[in-house]
Amino acid sequence: MLTHTNLKKGVKIILDEEPYEILEARPLKMAQRRVIIQTKIKNLINGNVFSKNFHQGETFHEADISKIEAKFLYSHLDRKSSISDGTSRHRYFFSKKDDPSKRFDLTSEQIGEQTSFLKPNQIIKQIIFKEKVINIALPVKVQLKVIESPPGIKGGRSQPGKKQVTLETGAKINVPLFIKEEDIIEINTETHEYIRRVE
């Protein structure tokens, strides 16, 4: 059993029978010297992130989460859910790393912004909770090809020496001016920032 003092970045807990990961945590002293923990937490099933305060005396069960390597196969438009509310949704299909016949799929809502950096045959981790795949985790660093890159024109003071390029997955990110089409670049999937050009 965990208490409010155990809530630190990376700790996974159960709230309302669902698993959450602590993204940020800091203590805040209140009146009568009672301490609350201000946190930012992420629902590991639907990817929602929000702020929540935890108080002295609260207890939590630690979420039993496991991660197993898997491979991203492809995505396609989920027409049934797209028609019902007018928004387009995609389903993303994965398989066990060494066994393409053992597949699972997730929606774009479940995966969230990670879809920006998914490409076929990419190795990811499947996140398992209560023997069920609830989400995926990309490596912190991935390498992707630049497919569109405008000429390097110096920007204003707000973004000196940067330009926006399009990657093979469709994601758009800011990179240094010397990056050109066909370059392979390394991206931080957590911050969505350029790291380096791969030689």
- Residue type at position 58: E
Tell whether 56 and 69 lie within a shared domain.
Answer: no
pLDDT value for 79: 67
Mean pLDDT along residues 27-51: 85
Q: Give the domain-ending residue among 137, 159, 183.
A: 137
State the chain's mean pLDDT as an integer. 88
Q: Give the domain-ending residue among 137, 166, 187.
A: 137
pLDDT value for 154: 58
The structure tokens listed for 121 are: 């045959």
C-beta neighbour count of 95 within 10 angstroms: 17
List pLDDT tens digits, range 137-163. Answer: 999 999 999 999 998 665 544 556 899
Q: Please tell me the total count of domains within the chain.
A: 3
Domain that holds residue 104: 65-137
pLDDT, greater one: 20 or 84? 20
pLDDT value for 164: 94
Tell whether 22 and 85 lie within a shared domain.
Answer: no
Q: Are 8 and 22 in contact (CB under 8 A)?
A: yes
Tell whether 41 and 25 lie within a shared domain.
Answer: yes
CATH number of the domain enclosing 175: 2.40.50.140
pLDDT above 70 coverage of the chain, percent: 90
List pLDDT tens digits, range 176-195. Answer: 999 999 999 999 998 899 99
CATH number of the domain enclosing 25: 2.30.30.30
Tell whether 174 and 120 lie within a shared domain.
Answer: no
Tell whether 93 and 127 lie within a shared domain.
Answer: yes
* Burial group, residue 191, by CB count within 10 angstroms (0-12, 13-18, 19+): exposed
**In this structure, what DSSP letter does residue 63 have?**
P
pLDDT, greater one: 175 or 112? 175
Tell whether 108 and 72 lie within a shared domain.
Answer: yes
The structure tokens listed for 49 are: 């992130």
pLDDT, greater one: 79 or 199? 199
pLDDT value for 5: 85
Tell whether 45 and 97 lie within a shared domain.
Answer: no
Out of 20-34, 84-98, 145-159, the most confident range is 20-34
* Burial group, residue 159, by CB count within 10 angstroms (0-12, 13-18, 19+): exposed
Rounded to a whole number of angstroms, the CA Rg of the chain reads 20
Tell whether 74 and 105 lie within a shared domain.
Answer: yes
The structure tokens listed for 188 are: 């931080």
Tell whether 160 and 121 lie within a shared domain.
Answer: no
Q: Give the domain-ending residue among 60, 82, 99.
A: 60
Tell whether 172 and 157 lie within a shared domain.
Answer: yes
